[in-house]
Chain A
Amino acid sequence: GESVGLHLPTLSVQEGDNSIINCAYSNSASDYFIWYKQESGKGPQFIIDIRSNMDKRQGQRVTVLLNKTVKHLSLQIAATQPGDSAVYFCAENINDYKLSFGAGTTVTVRA
């Protein structure tokens, strides 16, 4: 499943499929980008980050892609599992002490 366009508030994906969550950022000067996962009733949890001198970074089952030309960030989750159901936020640094968060995408995994 994939959230298309700049932002979709919800994404429904079949268990075992790959998920792609997209995010557009606003500040050309941002040099650090992060993805957070927030489960119901909990605080945001760090997933993966990427600096502006890279265009791809991989973690365990997750990959972040950065396209600075169009100011676009994406998070790919491989083999989506029920535990991946959550709200996912992208964030960019505005300066050394401030992150700006996107609106969030709710991912629901269907069994």
Chain B
Amino acid sequence: DTAVSQTPKYLVTQMGNDKSIKCEQNLGHDTMYWYKQDSKKFLKIMFSYNNKELIINETVPNRFSPKSPDKAHLNLHINSLELGDSAVYFCASSHMRVQETQYFGPGTRLLVL
């Protein structure tokens, strides 16, 4: 059984396009996160949502808009994609706070051409 799932796994697109990444967790967690991992493997938080409410927005450009339709889902929409957006995006979830184990999804590899 998949705990945290993401779709698609790979995403190749042209500069200027708009794309979405979907995330779902079946762990019953209240908090979900989006992370960006760059080519040097550096992992950085983008957003945290608790009970569908935005808690953390780490100075991410407005082109990135997360949406949480319910506690089990946190989607990421990216407008006007730029070359620098190429990275691996990970979704994660935890019960309430980060002090409770975060479970990560398999990642979405985004390549902007």
Chain A residues with CB under 8 Å of chain B are 31-32, 34, 36, 38, 41-46, 49, 51, 87, 89, 93, 95-101, 103-104
Contact = CB atoms under 8 A, between A and B. Distances in A.
A40 to B, nearest CB: 11
Contacts of A34: 101-102
Nearest to A96: B97
Chain A interface secondary structure, helix, strand, loop or mixed? strand
Interface residues of B, number: 26
Contacts of B44: 101
A43 B105 contact: yes
B104 A43 contact: yes
B45 A98 contact: yes
A108 B15 CA distance: 36
A82 B31 CA distance: 34
Contact of B107 (A36, A42, A98, A100): A42
Interface in B4-62: 4, 31, 40-45, 48, 50, 55-56, 58
A34 B94 CA distance: 13
Contacts of B31: 97
A43 B107 contact: yes
